[in-house]
Structure 1
Amino acid sequence: MDIDIRTALPAEFGALGDLTARAYLDDGLLDFGESDAYLHELRDVAKRAAAAEVLVAVDGERVLGGVTFVPGPGPMADIARPGEAEIRMLAVGRAGRGRGTGEALVRACVERARGTGGRTAVVLSTQSTMHAAHRIYARLGFVRTPERDWSPLPETADITLLTYQLTL
């Protein structure tokens, strides 16, 4: 079956939020499991959609994955500078894995960035253990930008997010 990528509908926010949280939990990407504060952010698709564009991958009516496309600096941007778009919270559920869902979502973000006036690059942050995502980024021409790596937590926490950039 075909995978369609489009803007998430409000009726899909709950399913996408649950899928995103479950993907991060199942992949061991949240240090504190169900009590991780970031889990609330992952589930709050409505908040993301109010400040950025949330894309969803669907097979018929089934939500397979999603991503947040941030067209530039603003409330949803972590690292985007002027002229840069940002990709955030890429997640693919089990039913969408191995089908090109993640790559299709990233490609859709790149195309949106190209269609947004004045964008010269797409940037993103990722955890070091997100190997499948790293392969997608490399395949699509993203390069590591270690000088922009950062930690979302206080210095007492041992987490560094790796950064990537695609020059448009």
Structure 2
Amino acid sequence: MDIVIRRAAPGEYAALGDITAHAYLQDGLLDFREGDGYLGELKDVAKRAGAAEVLVAVEHGQVLGGVTFVPSGGPLADIARPGEAEIRMLAVDRAARGRGVGEALVRACVERARATEGCVRIVLSTQRTMHSAHRIYERLGFVRTPERDWNPIPHLTHLTLLTYELTL
């Protein structure tokens, strides 16, 4: 596998934003239209990169996917508590799926969390239908934390997010 995981470069932000938005839309994970709400957040990689660490998986110069690593709280943390890092917005281009890209991105986040002083745990939220992602998390030792499940849009009861954690 010639896939390299590294920090996203500004010239890659648009490609990663498109991959992330398309992954969520194609997988039926969003009910939003282009330009609305969370879709805009998914596409705005520059904003994420200004508040956290955005990683990309690249092969032969092509962006295959990415993830946002939130090392210790900050504006992009949804569920992280003190001493916890958080994984957000993991996405892999549909054409690159099944090649270990998602797992490599999650592993890179775990390595960064282990290297973060005072970090004892890494957490994440996921939708119920993201079964491939769940398998990655569980294979890497993450465990479900149903007591932390939450809903970003309370009136949409079907949108309760499942949570996982990995104690480092």
Do these two structures clear the TM 0.5 threshold for a shared fold by scoring above it? yes
Q: Report the Cα distance in structure 1 between the residues aligned to 2:41 and 2:32, rounded to whole angstroms.
A: 14
Distance 1:31 1:41 in 2: 14
RMSD between aligned residues:
1.0
| Aligned position for 1:2 | 2
Partner Cα separation in structure 2 for residue 65 and residue 35 of structure 1: 21
Residue 100 of structure 1 corresponds to 100
Post-superposition shift, 1:32? 2.8
Partner of 2:67: 67
Tell me the distance in 2 between the aligned counterparts of 1:34 and 1:26: 13
The question of 1:87 aligning with 2:87 is answered yes
Cα deviation, 1:59-101, whole Å, max 9, x if unaligned, reads 0111000000000111010000000000000000022201000
Over 4 Å off, 4+ runs: none
Q: In the TM superposition, what are the counterparts of 1:1-168 in structure 2 within 5 Å? A: 1-34=1-34, 36-153=36-153, 155-158=154-157, 159-168=159-168
Q: State how far apart, in whole Å, the 1-side matches of 2:47 and 2:96 are.
A: 24
Q: Distance in 1 between matches of 2:86 and 2:107?
A: 13
User: Per-residue CA shift, 1:40-61, capped at 9, x if unaligned?
Assistant: 0000000000000000000011
Instruction: After TM superposition, give the deviation of residue 36 of structure 1 in Å.
Output: 4.3
Task: Give yes or no for contact 1:72–1:82 (8 Å, CA) kept in 2.
Answer: yes
Give TM-score, length-normalised by structure 2. Answer: 0.97
Distance 1:99 1:48 in 2: 26
Q: State TM-score, norm by structure 1.
A: 0.97
* Residues 110, 91 of structure 1: alpha-carbon distance in 2 compared, 3 angstrom cutoff: same
Q: Sequence identity, in percent?
A: 75
Corresponding residue SS for 2:34:
helix
Unaligned runs of 5+ in 1: none
The count of aligned residue pairs is 167
Residue identity in the other structure for 1:165: E
Distance 2:11 2:155 in 1: 39
Q: Distance in 1 between matches of 2:33 and 2:87?
A: 23
Tell me if structure 1 keeps the 8 A contact 2:65–2:102.
Answer: yes
Deviations 1:21-48 (A, max 9, x none): 0010000000234364100000000000
Contact 1:25-1:33 within 8 A present in 2 as well: no
In structure 1, the residue corresponding to 2:129 is in which secondary structure?
coil
